[in-house]
C-alpha cells in the first residue's frame, strides 16, 4: 500500500491504495467516478482515457505509484469548462463529432492537442494531411515541435474509427481558431 497524493479535477486528495492498482479502478472503486470501461478486452478500447498532466493516457494502464504528485483531469470535470464548450461549439459548427462510445476519450485527446498547440495559429491547407501539416497542428510551443509519430500515437490511443485523422485535424484547427478569437487559451 502507498499513501497516494494527487490532484484530481482541481482537488488535491490523499488516499491509501495498492501501488499497482490502475487509475481506472481507483477512480471507479475509491472515488466513485464512472468512466466508460465496460466491454474492454485486452486494454484496447481506449475509452478509459484521462489527461495526466497534459498528456492523454489510458487510465487502465497507469498504476497508482505513477500518479504520485500528478494532476489528472477526467471528462466529468472537463465538460464543465470553457475549453469543453469550445470543442462542443466546434463539433456543432463542423457537424462532426465522435460517436457516443468514444465521445469522452476523443474529446480529451482533442483537448490535449489543443493544450499543446496553445497560441500557435494554424493556417495550412486543410486538404493536405502531410507530415508537416500535422506537426504544425500540434506544435508544442515555439521551440519544441511534436513529431508526426507523436500525433498519430495520440490519435490511436482510442481504437474507435468513427472519425478519421483528417476529421480530428479539422476539429483541432477550427477549435484553436475559436479559442484564439474568444481568448479562451
Ligand atoms: S478500459 Fe479499454 S483501454 Fe482502458
CA 32 vs CA 80, 90, 105: distances in Å:
18, 30, 18
State how far the Cα of 50 lies from the Cα of 158, in Å rounded to an integer.
11
State how far the Cα of 80 lies from the Cα of 158, in Å rounded to an integer.
22
- Indicate whether 55 and 134 sit together in one domain: no
DSSP 147: P
- Indicate whether 92 and 44 sit together in one domain: no
Closest CA to 162 of 91, 86, 113: 91
DSSP 28: I
Choosing from 33, 48, 77, the residue where a domain stops is 77
pLDDT digits (tens, 9 = 90+) for 106-159: 999 999 888 877 544 444 443 444 444 444 544 544 443 444 566 667 778 888
If residue 7 lies in a helix (H) or strand (E), which one and from where to where?
A: strand 2-8
Residue 151 confidence (pLDDT): 64
Residue 143: Cβ within 10 Å count: 6
Q: Tell how far the Cα of 74 is from the centroid of ligand 1, in angstroms.
A: 14
pLDDT digits (tens, 9 = 90+) for 43-73: 788 999 999 998 999 999 999 999 999 999 9
Q: Is the CB of 45 under 6 A from ligand 1?
A: yes
Q: Is the CB of 57 under 6 A from ligand 1?
A: no
Q: What is the total count of domains within the chain?
A: 2
- Indicate whether 93 and 131 sit together in one domain: yes
Domain extent, residue 117, equals 82-182
pTM metric for this prediction? 0.81
Q: Tell how far the Cα of 37 is from the centroid of ligand 1, in angstroms.
A: 6
- Indicate whether 96 and 178 sit together in one domain: yes
- Indicate whether 160 and 175 sit together in one domain: yes
- Indicate whether 91 and 64 sit together in one domain: no
Closest CA to 102 of 163, 185, 151: 163
**In the beta sheet, which residues pair with residue 73?**
51
pLDDT digits (tens, 9 = 90+) for 78-101: 999 999 999 999 999 999 999 999
Choosing from 77, 103, 132, the residue where a domain stops is 77
- Indicate whether 64 and 128 sit together in one domain: no
Amino acid at each position: 500500500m502507498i499513501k497516494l497524493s494527487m490532484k484530481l479535477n482541481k482537488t488535491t486528495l490523499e488516499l491509501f491504495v495498492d501501488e499497482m492498482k490502475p487509475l481506472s479502478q481507483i477512480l471507479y472503486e475509491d472515488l466513485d467516478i464512472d468512466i466508460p470501461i465496460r466491454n474492454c478486452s485486452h486494454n484496447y478500447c481506449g475509452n478509459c482515457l484521462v489527461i495526466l498532466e497534459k498528456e492523454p493516457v489510458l487510465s487502465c494502464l497507469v498504476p497508482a505509484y505513477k500518479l504520485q504528485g500528478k494532476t489528472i483531469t477526467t471528462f466529468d470535470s472537463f465538460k464543465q469548462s470553457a475549453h469543453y464548450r469550445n470543442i462542443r461549439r466546434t463539433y456543432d459548427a463542423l457537424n462532426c463529432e465522435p460517436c457516443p462510445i468514444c465521445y469522452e476519450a476523443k474529446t480529451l485527446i482533442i483537448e490535449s492537442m489543443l493544450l499543446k498547440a496553445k497560441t500557435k495559429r494554424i493556417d495550412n491547407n486543410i486538404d493536405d494531411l502531410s507530415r508537416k501539416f500535422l506537426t504544425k497542428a500540434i506544435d508544442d510551443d515555439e521551440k519544441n515541435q511534436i513529431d508526426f509519430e507523436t500525433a498519430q500515437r495520440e490519435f490511436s490511443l482510442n481504437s474507435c474509427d468513427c472519425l478519421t485523422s483528417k476529421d480530428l485535424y479539422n476539429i483541432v484547427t477550427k477549435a484553436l481558431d475559436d479559442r484564439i478569437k474568444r481568448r479562451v487559451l
